[in-house]
Structure 1
Amino acid sequence: MLIRNVTVATMGEGGTGYGLRPDCAVLIEGDRIAQVTPEAKLAPTTGTDGEINGEGRLLTPGLIDCHTHIVHGGNRAREFEMRLEGASYEEVARAGGGIVSTVTATRDTPETTLLAQALTRADALIAEGATTIEVKSGYGLDIDTELKMLRVARAIGQERPVRVLTSFLGAHAVPKGVEADAYIDDVCIPALKAAHAEGLVDAVDGFCEGIAFTPAQIGRVFEAAQALGLPVKLHSDQLSNLGGTPLAAQYGALSVDHVEYSSEGDARAMAQAGSVAVLLPGAFYTLHETQKPPVAAFRQHGVPMAVATDWNPGSSPMGSILLAMNMACTFFGLTPAEALAGTTCHAARALGLQDTGVIAPGMRADLALWDVEAPAELSYRIGVNPLHTRIFGGQPCQ
């Protein structure tokens, strides 16, 4: 396939710019990019099975949503009302709402229904140019339901033209009436081992927070992950700073997510470990937070910043990766170039992927063609989807 007459945002400059190449063509062989060349140098005899004339449109890597919880049962609209009436996120959680309420709904929802609902959510992301989606478990908190969630996540990638990576998030919340240490040892770690045995896990995540788990408890989960040869990542510093980020860095975490309360020392630790900071402005917005991630420190220490939806039924019921980009700019002060890097090359790094997120020879041909004149428009507009064509594995599809 040949895509010609496009402006290419290669995103191959380490997240510092768009890497714009105007008047270019991209030749695809199979599911890989074979050549990125100026239109004027394109050989006239190039044989292709198909051609897209971009008519001057912008071509970017396909977008990557590197942090979602799109497999879940039920919704938490009532909790939305409660927060508007003055209850805090922690108060809602301690009253039996929050993550635990979604656990009940997810346990009670049949696997086929969970998949149908998750596909609807995946379709919304795909419609905005997403070609890779990360999906977490964590609403089961028992072995059977955690496995059920991960099977559904795997099935999304079989039912739709999208790449799905799974994260085991058994250490998401403490079930009601259970002691946290006992849960980690008797449920979470055995569930992880069972999921790994079935080939359902790409990475291991945890929630290090006062309403969830301590660094010592997360450390036991990470030890189990390390023994299985699985990479780790961590929800950390969302509502407070308990020391989760240095722990994540100690285990070479792919990413540390939320990071609103991270310090400059945390940023240094992430830089030394090569971890990506995943910014989740949807949760910041929904929870009416005021503490912003230390973006200046991340820049100073060279910590890559990814941007994701955190799509979940409670703290971030947001199904738009484009809106997440806008919010990252508006709330956190990212530049549009940083926001696009955050949903392409840096999001790929947050998932441990080396074959996507950049337009270059040898990379997967997961691409998005946009009806825009300049890449900043992707972050600038609100409620507008300018996607023209999504290309997944070298094939145009929506």
Structure 2
Amino acid sequence: MHCDTLWFNVRLMTLQGEALGVIEDGVLAADQGRIVHVGQAGSADHLRAAQRIDGQGRWVSPGLIDCHTHLVYAGNRANEFEQRLQGVSYAEIARAGGGIVSTVHATRQATAEQLAAQSRPRLRAMRAEGVTTVEIKSGYGLTLDDERKQLQVARSLGREMAVNVVPTFLGAHAVPPGRQAQEYIDEVCARMIPTIAAEGLAEAVDVFCENIAFSPAQARQVFEAACAHGLAVKIHAEQLSNQRGAELAASFGALSADHIEHLDAAGIAAMAAAGTTAVLLPGAFYFTRDTTLPPVQALRTAGVPLALATDCNPGTSPLTSPLLAMNMGATLFRLTVAECIAGFTRNAARALGRADRIGQLAVGMDCDLAIWDIDAPADLVYRIGFNPLHSRVVRGQLDPA
């Protein structure tokens, strides 16, 4: 049997099953961008590879997946960081016209080229740490044209930098200046979602359901519009208070509920029943100095998949390092090493509705790999400010770091 590339003398984190699925002395083969063989040394003798690569004992994992980012935006909010250091809360900043609205102004003013230029370094930083797939949300335009601009820039950056971009429409991120919440939500549902869906600009629709953003009733309206136009749904839920947003999203079969520090037992049960992934965002927890921990043990007990993400955004998580996010997940939320790595691979893929294509090393999956110069998987979580990436592989194509 022919294949394009065969890696041998590698240690594999397959992420198959519930743990890391380690194969200590392994081989992996790919053909036409897909994995065609994963196994122990000597199990691939029937394969005839056009290219054989000696991994020299390196560890190979699925390419990392950052399943929650707001990476495409313009402007800078370092001044708000200073305000929070002086005791001003995120909610107070938002009510005073800062927060999301200030980034909206800067993003609207930027041309597509300027927006790409400001966003490119953030994607480059993620790429350098083994990210092969990233979700990028809109939500800093809050008009149809500006939301479209964000989504188009996200896709163009992905093509340029060999990163698989999964675009999400987050028009219901904040109430635009001078608008009423219900009036704006009506526009999101009647005009924006149908247009975004028709133009194929997004795969899912997200909403910020919170006491400083949109109500559960308005979130329901958004979900109904998204489902009517064939788009998956996601939610920013229970970050600052319990609005029962995760429970609502689960009733629509949501891919994920994200943040969820204030999630209750009913929300956990609903997520478990619906197969909705919990996306934990330790960067935002750390940066805003939050003290309410997400209910990790209750989520584990209920069997809810746990994903991790950077939540890269200008106001509450200016983080572009998935490796640091893993360390934060372990130190702040007490996730295990296996949970942290699964959170950026197998379970991140579930949060994006792509578990059948990425996130594991298995036959039939896309050959997206991260190849690491480490002694053990724990090194990816344990070290701080350490980037051991040797190379990335995207759809079977080697991309040296």
Shared fold per TM-score greater than 0.5 = yes
Runs of 4+ residues over 6 Å off in structure 1: none
Matches within 5 A, 1:378-397: 378-397=380-399
| Residue deviations 1:314-352 (CA, integer Å, cap 9, x gap) | 000001011111100100010010000000000000000
Distance 1:91 1:183 in 2: 22
Structure 1 residue 54: deviation in Å? 1.1
Alignment of 1:219-234 (within 5 A): 219-234=220-235
SS at match of 1:225: helix
- Aligned-residue offset at 1:36: 1.0
Are the aligned partners of 1:36 and 1:360 in contact in 2 as well (CA < 8 Å)? yes
TM-score by length of 1: 0.98
- Using the TM superposition, give the Cα deviation of residue 39 of structure 1 relative to its aligned residue in structure 2, in angstroms: 1.4
Q: Which residue of 1 aligns with 2:256?
A: 255
Inter-partner Cα distance in structure 2 for 1:155 and 1:53: 34
1:51-62 correspondence runs (5 A): 51-62=52-63
Aligned mates of 1:327, 1:171 — CA distance in 2: 28
Match of 1:18 among 12, 17, 20: 20
Q: Compute the displacement of 1:42 (Å).
A: 3.3
Residue type at the aligned position of 2:309: A
Cα displacement (A) at 1:37? 2.2
Unaligned runs of at least 5 residues, structure 2: none
Deviation of 1:301 after TM superposition, in Å, equals 0.3
How far does residue 178 in structure 1 lie from its aligned partner after superposition?
Answer: 1.2
User: Counterparts in 2 of 1:45-56, with a 5 A limit?
Assistant: 46-56=47-57
| Distance in 2 separating the partners of 1:185 and 1:42 | 57
1:134 aligns with 2:153: no
2:94 counterpart of 1:90: no
Structure 1: which 5+ residue stretches go unaligned? none
Residue 120 of structure 1 is matched in structure 2 by 121
Displacement of 1:187: 4.3
Contact 1:141 1:188 in 2 (8 A): no
Q: Name the residue aligned to 2:32.
A: 30
- Inter-partner Cα distance in structure 2 for 1:166 and 1:73: 17
Using the TM superposition, give the Cα deviation of residue 115 of structure 1 relative to its aligned residue in structure 2, in angstroms. 1.3
Q: How does 1:233-272 map to 2 (within 5 A)?
A: 233-272=234-273
Task: Determine the C-alpha separation between the residues in 2 that align with 1:198 and 1:69.
Answer: 21
Q: 1:180 to 1:331 in 2, by over 3 A?
A: same
Q: 1:159 to 1:355 in 2, by over 3 A?
A: same
Q: Distance in 1 between matches of 2:151 and 2:138?
A: 6
2:44 equivalent in structure 1: 42
Identity across matched positions, percent: 54
Q: How many residues align?
A: 395
For 2:315, the equivalent position in structure 1 comes to 314
Alignment correspondent of 1:281: 282
SS in 2 for 1:200: coil
Q: Is the contact between residue 277 and residue 305 of structure 1 (CA under 8 Å) also seen in structure 2? A: yes
TM-score normalised by structure 2 residue count: 0.97
Deviation at 1:162, TM superposition (A): 1.0
Shift of 1:188: 5.4
Task: Name the SS for the 2:147 alignment partner.
Answer: helix
